[in-house]
Chains A and B, each alone.
Chain A
């Protein structure tokens, strides 16, 4: 475990393999809620919290429950259920402790249950930081950090997108391209610019 490794996880999950623009995870809220910067920020903050918490919980479950009992094939099933329960739990805790934050997150917190970015992050962590059914040294910290960084990447893409779309409201676009199609075309151009981080391969 060294600082270099953390830096490379940060760069690769925020920029090179951005959750939305290169891995296509969590696209539905990305096109649906990115019209307004405030909402986009609330959504991505909620996603970041949940991804980080889910990374912690799923790692613990995989290491101490699924692996010792040779149940690795139940990964998908157990992760989905745990994430759904976790989202409910976080929602309850936030509602009790901070009504302001609860109002800011609104329905987005519940929607995250079916957000593929969360499950995707959990599965990716397991794929990357467990080799031959064994945790690599520092695996837990890497997983949590990678989950958090994927949340940051999500936030970055959401904020850029909502900034662009707020200005687009004033533009005159062909009616067939309004809303979804245009959002995808913008995302395509964004993704093209993010490709600069990984460099072109020929």
Chain B
């Protein structure tokens, strides 16, 4: 049990996919304009991570080693298609906001990275918790970035005004603001790490 908790929590802080492993940054930057988009993207990616980790760990013994990557990609793409269709059916607004970045979860390095590094070596229960932890870590990182960007860029978070009379800095809602925020955050995490060491 303790091992499972460890698998779950490592993805959140110690091996956070975004800030520590620096994986899957493309969607992180693109959808972090607002917290609502970030949560949607995080949930979609977590679903894909969970599903593909569990399935890959279950069928790992039947997959020949040489063609394992194409097999993984097919499994991942299946889950991406499921979430794509669900989004289109139940939340067209979110689907439009996330745009091409939903199909692009397929090539997100976090998903394939976990499949290759963890799910194809472990049983399905620990893969489940590993996938869940990584997904939650990814979602939290997305929420952090998007909260900073949404607050600075529009003065609101999820539609609530936090400080009255705050003049929004539009550039944070634009691509260059995303790059600046992630650059400074990565620097901050490096600083904290070096202080600790």
Contact = CB atoms under 8 A, between A and B. Distances in A.
10 contacts: A21-B176, A24-B30, A24-B178, A26-B26, A73-B81, A81-B77, A119-B106, A120-B104, A123-B100, A189-B176
Contact of A80 (B77, B84, B191): B77
A79 B107 CA distance: 11
A168 to B, nearest CB: 13
Contacts of B191: 176
A27 interface: yes
A3 B89 CA distance: 38
Contacts, number: 123
Choose among A22, A79, A116 the residue with the greatest number of B CB atoms under 10 Å from its CB.
A116
A120 B100 contact: yes
A184 B182 contact: yes
Contact of B26 (A24, A80, A174, A185): A24
A176 B81 contact: no
Interface in B82-128: 84-85, 99-100, 103-104, 106-109, 112
Interface residues on A, range: 35 or more
A69 interface: no
Interface string B46-63: 000000000000000000
B13 interface: no
Contacts of B188: 176
A187 B73 contact: no
A177 interface: yes
Contacts of A76: 77, 80-81, 84, 103, 106
B102 to A, nearest CB: 9
A192 B191 CA distance: 26
Given A176-B187, A176-B190, A188-B176, A74 B25 contact: no
Contact of B29 (A24, A182, A200): A24
Given A176-B187, A181-B186, A191 B103 contact: no
B159 interface: no
Contacts of B187: 174, 176-177, 181-182
B144 interface: no
